[in-house]
Amino acid sequence: MKNKQVTILLFGFLISSWENTLAIEPVSVTKTFVSSQALFANPERGWITHRFSNDLYGINSLRNSAEKLSLVLIKIDISAYKNSSHIGQTKLNEIRTALNSCRQQGLKVIMRSAYAWDSVLAPEPKNIETVKTHIMDMKPIYYEYEDIIIAVEMGMFGPWGEMHSSYFSTTNTQFYYPIKTTALIQVHATYMDALPITRSVLVRTPYYIRQVFSSDKPIEPIEASNNTAKARTGYHNDAYLASSDDAGTFSYGWSRAKELAYINQMTRYAFFGGESFGTPNSKYNNAQNAMLESRQQHMTYLHRDYYTPIYNAWGTSVKEDFTRKLGYRFELKTLSYSKEVAPGGLLAFSLKVQNTGFSAMHLTRPVVLILDNGKTGTARIRYQTILTVDPRSWIPEVNSTSIDRKLRIPANIIQGVWQLLLTLPDSNTRLQSDVRYTVQFANENIWNTDGTLVLTNDISITSSAQGSRTTDNIFQEI
Ligand SMILES: *[C@@H]1O[C@H](CO)[C@@H](O)[C@H](O)[C@H]1NC(C)=O
Ligand SMILES: *[C@@H]1O[C@H](CO)[C@@H](O)[C@H](O)[C@H]1NC(C)=O
Ligand SMILES: *[C@@H]1O[C@H](CO)[C@@H](O)[C@H](O)[C@H]1NC(C)=O
């Protein structure tokens, strides 16, 4: 019995290698996609607006606004708990209600908590342990809403959570002093504990990040995977392009050029966003420099409602360019594929994708390839497979990324003309079937309302096609 099995296995192996060596694979054809300048909302990027957790006015019209918002910064006022060991259930439930509303509206969020939302000196509890407990009080929420919370701004310290003028500042009897390194390190570590491993905390200045990690070096590529603490630490700037040091953002002995080089490296892997500040059309916030530095700093989100005179000075065309380019913007360039394949045969597949946005995608998601018979209702047949590719690697620094694969076509597939579709749904199962969380591409005539992109609709599956074949009834990369 045993010997017989070995013989059958060996025989099968010989046949398949014989087929593979002698078969001439079908020739590939190449099609070119047409790019689109359309403005549309895409997940985890773009213009952002701010709302308090108890007042989400107008959020049902954000996605369809001129600026196509898909992100909201949720501000959490915890001033009432300054003297309490824990944040009250009333506040925690208010936050949950706010996040539920965002989810219903197809939005994602960034959160920031603070003990004062106006100019109050040193508004925090006097014991850092209380601040840390308050962060941990929100930990269950960070998990319950992991699907829509893309990152958390550190906040907690000082008025507006802007991380100055705090009880934990180096000088705490006057405004604008920075936070002590010991306090920074503790609160950062607490966030690393409170947030899901794939989520990051965004810190107000690059100087603070250097203090937390006790290093002048930005994240290295090797540290960018495995969800290291450095990979989970991003940056936000609420005085974006205000002045040579962005109103104190850079004022710790580093020149603007040196800071921008540090930020450029860090934000290849970590989120960067904020709000603009200063006199419109000035040296740094003018349209030309804003475009240049937003690309250099890999900007993912920008506050739409502040400071609007700066954006108005840019003019409609530059504003629209920001609507397109904040974060990632993917465009299909070309597809080379076998036009004829046999059931059980191999489909050659080579797709070129370009990221014309300012930044990489920072949260990963599946890249799904679908073979579809183009029918509707019960007659529809779909085979799908997840490609071994991480869309975070489609970075703006390269003109295009090529995905070259060979795909096994199921042996039992019905012969005929098939479509090849691509889709990038959310990585969280809760949102996977919600098209509002699926990535749209900047191409004409490829987007289906179910969130799939039509790569081609003319693959002929016929037993008369050239090439090797197996009896495996699978659709997957080999
Ligand atoms: C906290 O305690 C201080 C000192 O007793 C008091 O002035 C302040 O009003 C209290 N704040 C809150 C929000 O309870
Ligand atoms: C981290 O990820 C890299 C891939 O970039 C891998 O080679 C390495 O083994 C990982 N390190 C650890 C400690 O898991
Ligand atoms: C990218 O494209 C531009 C213009 O289309 C070209 O000048 C440049 O050399 C290309 N860069 C690379 C790395 O191919």
Residue among 226, 228, 268, 390 whose CB has most ligand 2 atoms within 8 A, to mutate: 226
Residue 21's pLDDT is: 45
Taking a C-beta distance cutoff of 8 angstroms, is the pair 150, 363 a contact? yes
- Helix pair angle (128-137, 181-194), 10° resolution: 20
Which residue's C-alpha comes closest to atom 5 of ligand 1?
A: 83
| Gap from CA of 122 to ligand 1 centroid (Å) | 13
DSSP string, 262-298: HHHHHTTTS-EEEEE-SSTT-TTTSHHHHHHHHHHTT
What's the CA angle centered on 181, arms 175 and 184, to 5 degrees? 85
Residue nearest (by alpha carbon) to ligand 2 atom 11: 226
3 state DSSP class of 421: strand
User: How many CB atoms sit inside 10 A of residue 202's CB?
Assistant: 27
Does any ligand 1 atom lie closer than 6 A to the CB of residue 126? no
CA 30 / ligand 3 centre spacing (Å): 21
Q: How many CA atoms lie within 13 A of 117 on its CB side?
A: 13
What was the pLDDT predicted at 16?
44
- Verify whether ligand 2 is closer than 6 Å to residue 226 (CB atom): yes
Distance 25 CA to ligand 3 centre (A): 32
Domains within the chain, CATH numbers bracketed: 23-38+330-477 (2.60.40), 46-325 (3.20.20.80)
pLDDT in tens, 109-166: 999 999 999 999 999 999 999 999 999 999 999 999 999 999 999 999 999 999 999 9
CA 81, distance to chain mean position in Å, is 33
Burial class from Cβ neighbours inside 10 Å (0-12, 13-18, 19+) for residue 286 reads middle
- Of the listed ligands, the closest to the CA of 82 is 1
339 pocket-lining for ligand 1 (C-beta < 6 Å)? no
Distance CA 353, CA 441 (A): 10
Confirm if 357 and 297 have CB atoms less than 8 A apart. no
CA 221 to ligand 2: nearest atom: 5
Q: What's the confidence (pLDDT) of residue 24? A: 75
Determine whether the shortest distance from the Cβ of 83 to ligand 1 is under 6 A. Answer: yes
Q: Which atom of ligand 1 is nearest to the CA of 81?
A: 13
Alpha-carbon distance of 234 to 276, in angstroms, equals 18
Ligand 2 touching residue 225 (CB < 6 A): yes
Low-confidence ranges of the chain (pLDDT < 70): 1-23
Selection from 413, 409, 399, 424 nearest residue 468 by Cα? 409
For residue 123, the ligand closest to its alpha carbon is: 1
| pLDDT recorded at residue 12 | 37
Q: Tell me what pLDDT residue 167 has.
A: 98
Closest to 137 measured CA to CA, from 56, 76, 201, 198: 76
Q: Give the model's pLDDT for residue 23.
A: 61
Helices (H), 297-396: 308-314, 316-325
Ligand 2 centroid–CA 228 distance in Å is 10
pLDDT number for residue 1: 36
| Amino acid in position 45 | R
* CA 96 – CA 185 distance, rounded (Å): 28
